[in-house]
């Protein structure tokens, strides 16, 4: 199983994410990851409204039965804001809402971490991606962690702060080839 943490930073939020965010790279990376992973493995993510439509678009043309290759998590706290794209995914886990937004997100993230992940991939994002990185690292200490720094935002902060040393994560924008290379020991292509 492969965990994806991704989002596209909002201008209204913390400027440190906006300053380095590459929206085109974030979109390209998410679509490439879905294209590479879903036919061969299982992708799990928390349903950010900018990411779920990208994954749906990437799998739209896949010929095989993909329902057992994707799981989308959502917090019931956001039920009134679920994108229509959620309806496309059969494996939709709706985590009960807590008393507030932050606790609801925390519960959803903790629920996701119960999966047996081998890889965690972090693309773009804001504080939620950083929070998911910390949770993932603590719950899956032996998993491969890939912050795609070329997408900027939280992924770049994670890459720099934790002193990752893979130049391809910083500069390789050929995401299909990059994910095939990085995941070759985790997915049979």
The token pair that represents 65 in the structure block: 């039965």
The token pair that represents 151 in the structure block: 């997408």
Task: List the chain domain ranges.
Answer: 2-182
Q: What is the mean pLDDT of residues 23-34?
A: 97
CA distance 124 to 105: 18
CA distance 175 to 30: 9
Please check whether the domain covering 2-182 is classified as CATH 3.30.390.10: no
Lowest mean pLDDT among 9-13, 33-37, 78-82, 155-159: 9-13
Q: pLDDT band for position 157 (50/70/90)?
A: very high
pLDDT digits (tens, 9 = 90+) for 74-103: 999 999 988 889 988 889 999 999 999 999
Per-residue pLDDT, 11: 82
Three-class SS state of 95: strand
Instruction: Answer yes or no: is pLDDT of 64 > 80.
Output: no
Instruction: Answer yes or no: is pLDDT of 65 > 80.
Output: no
pTM of the model: 0.95
């Amino acid at each position: 199983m492969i965990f994806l943490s991704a989002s596209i930073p909002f201008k209204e939020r913390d400027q440190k994410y906006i300053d380095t965010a590459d929206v085109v790279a974030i979109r390209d990376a998410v679509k490439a990851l879905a294209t590479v992973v879903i036919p061969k493995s299982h992708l799990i993510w928390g349903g950010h409204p900018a990411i779920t439509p990208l994954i749906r678009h990437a799998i739209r043309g896949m010929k095989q039965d993909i329902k057992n290759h994707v799981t989308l998590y959502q917090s019931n706290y956001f039920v009134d804001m679920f994108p229509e794209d959620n309806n496309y995914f059969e494996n939709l886990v709706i985590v009960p809402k807590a008393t507030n937004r932050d606790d609801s997100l925390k519960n959803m993230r903790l629920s996701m971490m119960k999966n047996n992940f081998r890889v965690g991939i972090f693309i773009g994002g804001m504080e939620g991606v950083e929070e998911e990185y910390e949770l993932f690292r603590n719950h899956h200490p032996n998993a491969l962690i890939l912050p795609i720094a070329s997408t900027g935002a939280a992924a770049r902060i994670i890459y720099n702060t934790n002193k990752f040393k893979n130049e391809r994560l910083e500069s390789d924008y050929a995401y299909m080839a990059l994910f095939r290379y990085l995941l070759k020991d985790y997915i049979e292509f």
